[in-house]
Every structure is written in C-alpha cells, then in structure tokens.
Chains A and B, each alone.
Chain A
Amino acid sequence: MDVTIVLQQIINGVIVGSIYALMASGLSLIWGTMKTLNFAHGEFYMLGGFFMFILNVQAGLNPILAGAISILFIFVVGVIMQRLVIHYLMDKPGWDVSPLIATFGVSIFLQNLSLKLWGERFKNIPYYLGGEASFFGINLSYHRILILIIAVVVIFTLWAFLKYSRFGMALRATSQDRDAATINGINTKKMFMITFGISAILATAAAIMLSPIYSVNPWMGESLLLKALAVIVIGGLGSLVGAIIAGVGLGVLEGVGILFFPSEWQNVIAFSILIIVLWIRPSGLFGTKEW
C-alpha cells in the first residue's frame, strides 16, 4: 500500500480526532467535577454553530469577532443551564440518573427550539481560509490545517488553565473532595456553573471550526456527542489526557481503518475499541477506579 495514502489517512484522522478530543474534553471536565454526563453537550455545539452562522454570515462580522461573541454567549448558556437544571438536582435522591434524564430533555428542547427559530434548512458558513495545501502528494484544505492548530491551542490552553490558574486549582480541589474544598473557602456552586460554561466553550470552539465543513442544522450535535461519549469512556471518565489521546487515536483508527474496510465499518471500529477497552480496563485507558 502507498505510504502517502496511509500518511494522508493518519493526518485526516488526527484532524477529526482533535475535534473528538475537543468535544470529549468538555464532557470529561463535567464528569471530573460533578460525576455526571451532559447529554445536551451536542446542543452546545449546535448552538455554537448557529451563532457563528448568524454573526459571521448574516451579520457579516469577521470570523474572529463572530467566534468570540459566540463563545461568550454559549458560555452564558452553559452557566444558565447548570443553574436552572443541574443545580436543583445535585445532592438530591436519584442524582445518579436525574441529570442524565434532565440533560436529555434539555437536548430535545434545544433541538426543537432551534428548529422553530432557524428552520430545517441546512446553513453553510464559508471557510475562514480558502485554498488547499499540497505536500508530498497529500492534499489538504488550509481550513483543516487551521482546525488542527485551533484544536491544539484550545486543548493546551485548557490544560494550562486547569493546571496553573487559581481557578484550575480550585476546580481540581472541588473534583477531589468537594467538602474539603468548601471548608477551604472555595465556592463550589460557582465552580460547577463555570465548569458547565467552560464545557460549553469547548463545544462551541469545535462548532466554530467544523461548521464550514459540516453545515449547521438543529441535529448536528447528535453524532458528534455519540463519538465524544465513546472517547471519554475509552480515555477514562474525568481524564483530560485520556480524552485527548483517545480522541486522536479514535480519529486515526477510523481513517486508517477505511483503507482496509468499507465505510460502513467506521462506527463498528469505534465501538469495538470501546468494548475491548471496557473489557480490559473497565475504568478506561487513563481513568481511575474511584467511581
């Protein structure tokens, strides 16, 4: 088999995988701090896409400004969602299941709201960078290269923020022991709200970069959420490093797998890996057994 083709598939996989990682990081962050999953995470992604479309295409703002406003807005949406939905369920009986059902309900509500507001037609955002790069027989649009760069920058910034900022330390403390964090003066309720907001920002960053390729529509978050869920389980629930490695790894395996199997096996590959990982390491590649 031609090495160039394999290399091109690896590059394709890394780019798609970086987006899986970006989406999965948001889910992982919420699991790490609140020990729950957000089934409306795909709808943060969807709302991010619509806001980008409205600001960039309809209002004519340049992509950087439109992206910044979209991120700010969806951050607020994430915070509000935590305060209005999750906040009232925390520490109540049934916490294991109640946020899953509640966020699933929010997901359906947001899909139908966007259908009502913006209609069923697909919306397209032009590429932020036109043209294609060709090197060593590999063809790639500049926009995809930009996706990779932005994804790496966003994930690295998140990692540095969590590791070195006061907020990051407070967040990690809340994640490790909520009561001890509260005794030490950390406002954990505020932490939870901001965590939801940051998670929404990560989904919006993915939407901003992917919408020019994937089109904007009310259901765009569904399939990506499914992949992100698989990624965080493979990587280990709550592990940021796990989400990144599993995301990129899954993207590469899907890309290279197509060379050997028909496309209909793409999801089979993803979920077979999930089953194998769960079989060998039930807590995921980088997960802890505490939960």
Chain B
Amino acid sequence: MKRKIAPFILIALSLIIAVGLSACSESGRNVEEIRIGVTGPLTGATANSGVASKQGMELAVDEWNEKGGIEVEGNKLPIKMYFEDNQGKPDQGVSTAEKLFNNEEVDFLIGDAFASSVTMAIMDLAGQYEKPILSGEPVSSAISDKITENPDKYKYFWKGNVGSDAYGDSVYQTVKMLEESGDFQPTDKTVSFVVEDTDYGRSNADEVARLLENDGWKVVAYETVEVGHTEFYPQLTKLGSLKPDLLVSVFTADSSGVALVKQINETKLKTLHTAVYYPTRPEFIENAKDSSEGLVWIPLMFEPLLRESQVDFATAIKEKWNVVATPNHALGYDTMNNALTSIAEAQSLDSEKIVEQLAKLDRDGILGRFVFDDSNHTIKAGPEYIPVPAVQIQDGKNAIIWPENISTSKYQK
C-alpha cells in the first residue's frame, strides 16, 4: 500500500513546490534594494570602453546611495548594481541578460552598455520579461527602426543614446561646410568607407553614404573588418588605386583607429579622412601621435577642456578611479542616472510606471539634455539636446569645427 501511494505523494509534493516557486516568482523577491542589472564588455576588444562605462555607472549609484537611495512605495531603498561581462558578443549579451533577470531578479536592465549588435540581440527580452531595458552607448538606427515598426512589442525598451542618423548628419554637414568654405575641393565626389563589421560600424557608414549619395557623391569602396582589426595596408593600397576624395572610418576599438591613421600616413594616401567614434578615447592621440594631426572626427561629446560643465565630473572620476575621464564614463554615468531618475519619479518598481517616467524624462546630464523621442524611444540629438559636434585634431588637441555657433577653431588644412 505504502509503495502504491508513494508516487502520488511525490507528485503532490512536486506540485506544491512548483506552485510555491511560481507564486514566489509572481510576487517577486522581498524588496530590500533596487537591483539594476547591466550587461557590457569587460573583456575583449572593446573592454576599455566597457570598464569606463561601468566606472561611470558605479559613481552614479554611489551618489544616489549617499543621498539615502530611492523612495519606492514609501520606503527608501538602496541601489545595487549587478554588472555582467558579455565580451561584446551578442550571444553572451543575451545569456548574461537572462541570467540577470532570472538569477539576480533585477528590476531594471541596462543593456547593452556599449555595443549596438548586442543591443539588437537583447532588446526582445524587454517584452518577454516585461521589465524595462535601457541601452547605454549604442547608436545604431536599426535599433530605433525596430521600435518604430513595432512600438507595442518594444514598450519596455528604450535607447539611451542618440541615433546613427545624428552621427551621419554631423559627418555630412561637416563635409558640406568644408566644401562651401573652399577648404575641401573634391575632384570626383567619391567616398570610401573602412568600418568595423558590426551594427554600429555599418549603420553609421550607411547613414553617411545615404546623405552623400543624395548629394551626388559616389561610394567607391566599402571595406568592413572585424572588431579590433589592425592590418590596413591591403585596404589602403586598394584605396590608393581608387583615389577617393573622402574616407570615412568607423571603429569602436581605438587600436583599429590608431593603426589606421598610422598606416594612412605610411602609405601616403591623400584624402580627407573623417573618423567616427574611436578618437573619442583619450589614449588615441597619445598612441597615434603625429599621425592623428589634422584628423576630422565626430562626436566630441565629452571634453572638459572645452566644456566647463564637465570639469566637476572629470574630477570626480579622477578622484574615485584615478583615471582620466572619458565619454564612456560620462555616458555610463548619464545612463545610470536616467534609469534611476525614472525609478525615483515612478516611486515604484512597477515596469509600467517606470517606462511612463522614461517617456517623460527631461534631465540635464553631463553630455547634454536627455529627452526621449516618443516615436522611437531614442534620445534626441541636436544643439538643444545632445549635441554631436565635429572636431579636428590640431596641435595634438581637439578643436570644435562644426557647428559654427559653438566652434572653437577653423578647419586647418
């Protein structure tokens, strides 16, 4: 008899445990802290950006905790950040995000902190887990396009940086300005691209190509290389035969950028070179030295030497981490503050209430004014919001050359 009822007891116990677990997961953990999960690269070719971003986020969390935390449902709760390394790989991004939702039971996910391609892979989880996800640095317009196409599906996903259309426009407007001033006289209106083979690299290049082609330019080469690639002699030799008037390069790994500008110098390629992103790292000029001289690049979002409002932040990073503050620190700090501000305004960990507050966000950050475009959940770009100025490296320092109203110097041939 005992043997006969044993299986039923086991099944009943299993059901009780399963129902209990399910009830736990529905009601959630005991809320004693606000858990913010972050997934980003701490190893791999873009680790330097990921580490800086993490440091910026930790500074923001510390500042909120020093103020006593955030009031949620009448209780002041401390904030705890859970950062998982994804090596800049989309598959790792998804598994770390899943881990943060399932194991750490985070209330809010910042993902990806850095890469567009990882964000593209993660963004679908927002609807699946019905938890808010905010990306950090990614700019690819493909992310915004997905949201525009299906706003209900991506109700909980928000893109914490401007779109690649803003970057593309900045490159295009700068080239146009140089043409109009006579500083740049293209012979055939031909442009070539050397970009990393990621959503970031391609989206920025595609946007520049689209704007230039509309203006009568012709794309003569579109070379994509893997992240961290550093051998450009074959590509530059090919470009030498095509003689493009303009070269646009896009990399997230500054090692690629350093190698490219050095090798352009060595192969004596004559072209107007415009770079996207990589010169933003402070070690770029330090490592590229004279080869970086005269380079035009975007976007100069963080430069305490030119923007007084960023000096205090640079000092705080130096004091806390003993490193030179970078745009990655600033955007990490701003992204975390945007996330925490939305929770503070919602006074709740309810996803619906948090995303309602993200939609209403209007916050002056280190990089500018953060306001979301409601149609595509993307941070607005422009002089009133997040400016995307173009700069030229002159005498080893960055000088803003576009837009003219905030320029600190003229373009130098």
Contact = CB atoms under 8 A, between A and B. Distances in A.
A262 B48 contact: no
A120 B234 contact: no
B42 interface: yes
Interface residues of B, number: 39
B282 to A, nearest CB: 10
A219 interface: yes
Contacts of A141: 266
Classify chain A's interface size. Answer: 35 or more
A16 B231 contact: yes
Residue among B50, B231, B254, B287 with max Cβ neighbours from chain A (10 Å):
B231
B222 interface: yes
Nearest to A112: B43
A124 B381 CA distance: 34
B259 A263 contact: no
B45 A219 contact: yes
A91 interface: no
Nearest to A260: B238
A221 to B, nearest CB: 12
A8 B266 contact: no
A217 interface: yes
A215 interface: yes
A120 B266 contact: no
Contacts of A122: 48, 253-255, 258, 283, 287
Contact of B225 (A16, A140, A213, A263): A263
Contacts, number: 103
A8 B255 contact: no
A287 interface: no
A122 B251 CA distance: 14
B89 to A, nearest CB: 12
B252 to A, nearest CB: 12
Given A2-B241, A122-B258, A263-B223, A218 B234 contact: no
Contacts of B224: 262-264
Contacts of A8: 237, 240
Interface string A129-157: 00010100001110010000000000000
Contact of A215 (B50, B221, B223, B259): B259
Contacts of A267: 226
Given A139-B266, A139-B267, A213-B230, A120 B51 contact: yes
Given A122-B48, A262-B223, A9 B228 contact: no
Interface in A1-57: 1-2, 5, 8-9, 12-13, 15-16
Given A139-B267, A263-B194, 10 more contacts: A9-B238, A115-B43, A120-B47, A121-B283, A122-B287, A132-B266, A139-B266, A213-B231, A218-B43, A263-B235
